[in-house]
Structure 1
């Protein structure tokens, strides 16, 4: 292989390679801390297309729910009451069932739910309001409700229970944010103050999203220049 081609491939790889960071959010649909994190910290960062492209997102609405296996009609008790169980299940169905929606569309709808939901308002009323605001089709809306009110909703919620219990049983803090499948309390707590700052710490390739400049105070392109310098050194070795 030509040394010039080797240099070109190294340079292209250094500039274009993009690492995705796994971000899992364990939360509750009516928890005020979950609402604040989702609407004020996570979504504002997520709206940046470059940031969004670096995230492999997992949403797990369950939180501090407890299981009632002996009661088939009321299988879970939720931290903020029955209305929250409805919200958690409905969001589980959006996350799992909406094959026709992109991850961005799902996040947009859940953001609307989190921003509008109230313990004093039936959750399905909030769902209808967001569906109207976001022009969601009747067919999609009906499929979500059918899922949330049926066995599929229970199945998805049990899956969320298992995921949450595997992390912590019981979950100590809501929300809990996990990066790259490794729980770190300091990172989870820090993410609730500045999600972007913690995320950018986990993005180790380059160039980082420009938003990381503001988050960390360090130029995002620096590592990219280092990679190019490395490519140059390899080229000299091949000369």
Structure 2
């Protein structure tokens, strides 16, 4: 009956569950987690239920050189570049399609060449050149520094990626798929 069905629904608004993913753009396990678990869950549930926060940095290192942040990434310079692209403009908060673009890039066979095609599909109004200019500029480096601070201040400290927090509590480790 109608009354029985209403019991299943919560009439009051409920805040979405926050899932934070600390990752590296080229690391196989975070790429798998994003494309197999997180993105499909978010796509099914939406922003009203699942608030996804993506924090690309992972096992990178940073240092301040002449007032500018420089980064060294576990999987090389390309990973640093992809992390910077993902931190600057494609954060889900910046655009409704941001999570979809990042998933598109991370699930691509060649993530380094996927940005333009992923943008055309999910956020065609954003220009690749604008993203690259911002990502490699001062603001992008400052935002990556913020990700470094969030990552380096995790408690307990992360020991691998993906490092997953659900409502600020560390989630069960994701099995590393190869």
Aligned to 1:86, the other structure's residue is in SS state helix
Question: RMSD over aligned Cα, in angstroms?
Answer: 2.7
Sort the Cα spacing of 1:150 and 1:46 in 2 relative to 1 into closer, same or farther, 3 A: same
CA drift of 1:70 comes to: 3.8
Give the match for residue 116 of structure 1. 108
Superposition TM-score, scaled by structure 2 size: 0.81
**Aligned residue-pair number:** 168
Asked whether the equivalents of residues 91 and 99 of structure 2 are also in contact (C-alpha less than 8 Å), the reply is no
Asked whether the equivalents of residues 64 and 78 of structure 1 are also in contact (C-alpha less than 8 Å), the reply is yes
Asked whether the equivalents of residues 68 and 138 of structure 2 are also in contact (C-alpha less than 8 Å), the reply is no
Deviation per CA, 1:112-168: give whole Å up to 9, x if none: 1101154xx7x2x3212323344623x533221111111111000000000001105
What are structure 2's unaligned runs of at least 5 residues?
A: 1-6
Give the match for residue 147 of structure 2. 160
CA drift of 1:35 comes to: 0.4
What are structure 1's unaligned runs of at least 5 residues?
A: 1-10, 194-239
Rounded Cα–Cα distance in structure 1 between residues aligned with 2:40 and 2:50:
14
1:41 to 29, 37, 49: 37
Sort the Cα spacing of 1:17 and 1:67 in 2 relative to 1 into closer, same or farther, 3 A: same
Asked whether the equivalents of residues 97 and 144 of structure 1 are also in contact (C-alpha less than 8 Å), the reply is no
1:178 to 156, 165, 168: 165
Sort the Cα spacing of 1:151 and 1:58 in 2 relative to 1 into closer, same or farther, 3 A: same
Rounded Cα–Cα distance in structure 1 between residues aligned with 2:63 and 2:168:
28
Deviation per CA, 1:176-231: give whole Å up to 9, x if none: 11011133xxx231xx36xxxxxxxxxxxxxxxxxxxxxxxxxxxxxxxxxxxxxx
Q: Whose strand proportion is higher, 1 or 2?
A: 2
Q: Whose helix proportion is higher, 1 or 2?
A: 1
Give the match for residue 86 of structure 1. 81
Give the match for residue 58 of structure 1. 53
Aligned to 1:69, the other structure's residue is in SS state strand
Asked whether the equivalents of residues 59 and 95 of structure 1 are also in contact (C-alpha less than 8 Å), the reply is no
Give the match for residue 143 of structure 1. 130
Rounded Cα–Cα distance in structure 2 between residues aligned with 1:98 and 1:14:
26
Rounded Cα–Cα distance in structure 1 between residues aligned with 2:114 and 2:10:
46
